[in-house]
Structure 1
Amino acid sequence: MAISKAQVAVLVVVVMAATAMMSPASGAYTGCGQTRKVTVQNLCGHDLALSEFPVANSAPLFGPGFVLRHGTHAEFQVCSWTGSVSAPEAAPVEFHVGPDGGAWYQVSNTQGGRVRVTVTPHGYPLQGHCPAAGCRDHGQCFAHAVPGGNCHNVDELKIIYYAP
């Protein structure tokens, strides 16, 4: 069966439109109605060298060699992001923020190192199961995971590093 010139033209338009919805710089879907934010805050008492491990075609949030100074925070606008963020002497945080505001995240709630970490979703109104996860200062710990993406309407996922 031969393909007509009109069918080829339609196919080219469809492929170009699909390609235009991908950001070449980030490799992430940019057809979001609303971007989401990943915020990382440092309250641990010293500077933190952060590492990231993006997966599922997620673009880097901050890249290698990123140091978050004590008492500061960094905000990263994303449409969708999946992977993990870690700091020396802290539990790694694994998470996903979807273009539709759905999220899943996990971090140990049996932390004993020199740095504690929590992850908390923000949005109005959050829907589903969206507890804080991890441990903050003074031994206060929360849930360890929100698996399965049962947290919805997330505008921001906030990761905070604390001193024990």
Structure 2
Amino acid sequence: MTAIEEGQQAPDFRLPRDGGESFGLAEAEGRNVLLYFYPKDDTSGCTLEAVDFTALIGDFAAANTTVVGVSKDSVKSHEKFRAKHGLEVVLLSDETGEICERYGVWVEKSMYGRKYMGIERATFLIDASGRIRRIWRKVKVRGHAAAVLEAARAL
């Protein structure tokens, strides 16, 4: 698989979301999409990231940008996560990992010397025409949402 790069057309997808619905890039219809991949619902870094994006959701809306998080957690897990933390971002369930692989974020990780496969925290800013305008890999959570908002405002 070739790595995704800025300027390329974003791989299309359709994934289940909370409320029994699904979401795909086609739903964006003339809006930018901030697609962020995160390892696991309700863990410290992932919660902070989702809360930070939620805090800026009105600013992202004003920048014509829909914020969408993706992990391999189930829809039921996402619903609990959203309710517990009052999240307003769209959360998609990629239980098979197919979309994580298409975006190149299913990678080998290492913790305490043990190697395992997991989701690399990464963000893709996709413009209204479906082109990837910015990619952030190995994201550090603090300050990330604000940095992405600035990039979204520049589109």
TM-score w.r.t. the length of structure 2 is 0.29
Q: Whose relative contact order is higher, 1 or 2, with alpha carbons under 8 Å and at least 6 apart?
A: 2
* Higher Cα radius of gyration: 1
Q: Which has the higher strand share?
A: 1
Q: Which has the higher helix share?
A: 2
